[in-house]
């Protein structure tokens, strides 16, 4: 098992070279560690499936990152890549299917619901990494990478119609340069806590989202010159 994990680590590191710092291998490592922490508080978790799913969940992120159409979903693409890699490693077919489900259903902006405990843990761990101090840091990395404004006053409903695939909040963002941290908070971060599945993730998430709310309230005041 450890041999498989170490091989996959090296593969993922190589495949994710060139991804932006908010979705790089350090993100994968944080999600992997959060998965193991959450798993301690759940029953009947297949740790093998969970660990491999965590390592491979964003392996095709670069393909979505370089896509200009807004149609490529890195979750589906990552599941395809994961299947290809694991088949070459002669990994059991039934385990591959479980891993693919975990990967396909890990997206917040997606329509695939995680059904297994492993998929729910991966989903929760991935969501926890977008909130709190880490989430703020990642969001402002995107500001630099995509040349975004640090604050953008827009009508959120109109913005979603124009810059989200199919005009839906769970659709992929079409033009990342038009996005901003406060828009990401209004369209994603503030909804994360309610969508978590596991008790431990909710406990961790509560503290993280409260920190984030305070940060954005203060940022708004500072930008408006009130502080």
Please give the pLDDT value at position 196.
97
* Whole-model pTM over 0.85: yes
Contacts of residue 45, Cβ cutoff 8 Å, sequence gap at least 6: 39, 117, 118, 121
Please give the pLDDT value at position 109.
64
Q: In the structure, what pLDDT confidence band is assigned to residue 98 with cuts at 50, 70 and 90? A: very high
Q: In the structure, what pLDDT confidence band is assigned to residue 110 with cuts at 50, 70 and 90? A: low
CATH number of 2-223: 1.10.3210.50
Average pLDDT score, the chain: 92
Q: Coil, strand or helix: which one is 103? A: helix
193-211 pLDDT per residue, tens: 999 999 999 999 999 999 9
- DSSP code for 176: G
Measured distance CA(34)–CA(126) in Å, rounded: 8
**Quick one: average pLDDT of 73-89?**
92
Q: What is the DSSP string of 83-95?
A: HHHHHHTT--HHH
136-151 pLDDT per residue, tens: 999 999 999 999 999 9
Domain boundaries, the chain: 2-223
Name the one residue in this structure whose structure tokens are 């396909």: 104
Q: In the structure, what pLDDT confidence band is assigned to residue 191 with cuts at 50, 70 and 90? A: very high
Instruction: Please report, to the nearest 10 degrees, the dihedral formed by the alpha carbons of residues 123, 218, 137, 100 taken in order.
Output: 10
């Amino acid at each position: 098992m450890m041999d498989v994990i170490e091989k996959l680590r090296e593969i993922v590191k190589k495949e994710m070279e060139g991804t932006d710092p908010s979705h790089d291998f350090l993100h994968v490592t944080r999600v992997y560690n959060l998965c193991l922490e959450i798993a301690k508080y759940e029953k009947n978790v297949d740790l093998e499936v969970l660990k491999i799913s965590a390592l491979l969940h964003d392996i095709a992120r670069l393909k979505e990152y370089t896509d200009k159409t807004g149609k490529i979903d890195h979750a589906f693409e990552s599941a395809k890549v994961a299947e290809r890699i694991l088949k070459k490693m002669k990994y059991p077919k039934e385990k591959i299917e479980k891993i693919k489900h975990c990967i396909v259903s890990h997206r917040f902006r997606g329509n695939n619901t995680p059904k297994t405990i492993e998929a729910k843990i991966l989903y929760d761990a991935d969501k926890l990494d977008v909130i709190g101090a880490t989430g703020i840091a990642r969001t402002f990395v995107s500001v630099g990478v995509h040349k975004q404004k640090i604050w953008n006053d827009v009508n959120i409903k109109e913005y979603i119609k124009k810059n989200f695939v199919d005009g839906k909040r769970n659709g992929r963002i079409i033009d990342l340069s038009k996005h901003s941290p406060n828009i990401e908070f209004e369209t994603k971060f503030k909804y994360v806590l309610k969508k978590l599945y596991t008790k431990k993730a909710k406990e961790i998430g509560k503290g993280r989202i409260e920190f984030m709310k305070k940060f954005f309230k203060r940022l708004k005041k500072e930008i408006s010159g009130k502080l």
